[in-house]
Amino acid sequence: MKLHHLRPADGATKERTRVGRGRAGARGKTAGRGTKGTGARKQIRPGFEGGQMPLQRRVPKAKGFRNPSRVAYAPVNVELLARYFDGEVTPEALYAHGLARKGRPVKVLGRGELDKALVVKAHAVSAGARAKIEAAGGSVELIAPSG
């Protein structure tokens, strides 16, 4: 077999429709464009809605300020730590349990109760969460965000 012997499988390709080839042809006379009007005579630009106010002008412009240096944390509450962990809690363990979104720094928040001593390693901890962890006999270690 040589390169010039290769051809597509039967039914894999279809011949293109040649339009405007006389009245006897399948796409003769108006060639599938209908009669009269802009569509029959020329190409209209993308997004043109026939004189109606176009979508990109109907939708309001974005207002306000988006902080480029904002840090998006993956929040984890103390109640989840109590339910899933004994001993040490790390961001990797939280990612593995599916409790925090991977690739985001972890912030521990204070919702719920904690009844066991945990060593929590996280990128950020709220004051309420820190108080609950330390009241249960645990400790908090802050890690510097990677990246």
CATH of the domain at 134: 3.100.10.10
pLDDT band at 146 (very low <50, low <70, confident <90, very high): low
Contacts of 42 (CB under 8 A, 6+ apart): none
Taking residues 13-41, what's their average pLDDT?
90
**Which candidate, 56, 87, 91, places its Cα nearest to that of 73?**
91
Q: Residue 118: inside a domain, yes or no?
A: yes
Domain tally, the chain:
1
pLDDT band at 147 (very low <50, low <70, confident <90, very high): low
pLDDT band at 3 (very low <50, low <70, confident <90, very high): very high
Q: Residue 37: inside a domain, yes or no?
A: no
Q: Residue 115: inside a domain, yes or no?
A: yes
Q: Residue 83: inside a domain, yes or no?
A: yes
Specify the pLDDT at position 26: 84
pLDDT band at 144 (very low <50, low <70, confident <90, very high): confident
pLDDT digits (tens, 9 = 90+) for 29-79: 999 999 998 889 999 899 899 899 999 999 999 899 999 999 999 999 999
pLDDT digits (tens, 9 = 90+) for 72-110: 999 999 999 888 888 899 999 999 999 998 889 999 999
Question: How far, in Å, are 60, 64, 101 from residue 56 at the CA level?
Answer: 8, 19, 34
Q: Is the pTM of this model over 0.85?
A: no
Q: Provide the residue range defining the domain that includes 82.
A: 74-142
Q: Residue 60: inside a domain, yes or no?
A: no
φ and ψ of 119, to 5 deg = -100, 105
Can you tell me whether residue 135 is helix, strand or coil? helix
Q: Residue 22: inside a domain, yes or no?
A: no
